[in-house]
Amino acid sequence: MTAPAQGGYRGWRALSSGACCRFGGTVRGCAVTVWKLLVLVFLSVFPFHTAASGDRGRLPSIVMILADDLGYGELGCYGQPLIQTPCLDRMAAEGLRFTRFYAGATVCAPSRSVLMTGQHHGRTRVRGNAGAANPAAQALRDEDLTVAELLQSAGYRTALFGKWGLGDVGAAASGLPGRQGFDEFFGYLNQQHAHNHFPAFLWENERRVQLRNKVREVGDTGAGYAEEAVEYADDLFAERSLRFVR
């Protein structure tokens, strides 16, 4: 959920006392691979109580998938007649399908920054794809309030699997997922690293996990190309996502 900048609007912090939009649903027996994914999973761990009705229940679990370079018109649930997307269509049918929305930016890192902070592109911390050139300039700060932190305070366990790009080890550590509201993370920290679907390593929280792929690396971000492809990153993300949900 995003909103235009008005006056002193400060994203999720300004909305922390109100309701949040949610996207939920369950998919059984389906595997989805679409470009580079950021999979956000928020699971309710505390029951909620509705004073007006006296009913006790459980906060809805939330699964949100952000796919780079995927237009809404490419999905069957939005009327696409040729490309078959049955699993995503089922998620839309069992969860929520938004009909009034916009992407926060035309490229990936600022789109994620807008989503995480709820701020307009002109106000959010990351406004472009700086990549490895200046990682500290492309990182969320301690004072930023993310939707993950907001949901943690509401009683959710939070996890992120896939490409992050809003913080890295070293000078950009303030933006690491574990410091921005996520209980569990597995994936790419640097977006240039994410250009390789068969990377030499991935990150589990702040620990580097070596994979069996042999990669000719370019630079010091993990970017490069696989000379021997063994472990496909998106399969690992799907496995970790299912493990967290179960």
pLDDT band at residue 12 using 50, 70 and 90 as cut-offs: low
pLDDT category of residue 5 using cuts at 50, 70 and 90: very low
**pLDDT tens digits, 89-109:** 999 999 988 888 888 888 888
Q: What is the mean pLDDT of the chain?
A: 80
Q: What percent of the chain shows pLDDT beyond 90?
A: 48
> Which residues are within 8 A (CB) of 142 and not within 5 positions of it... i.e. 6 or more apart?
174, 179
When pLDDT is averaged across residues 119-137 and rounded to a whole number, the result is 79
H-helix segments, 25-166:
86-94, 108-117, 147-153
pTM for the full predicted model: 0.79
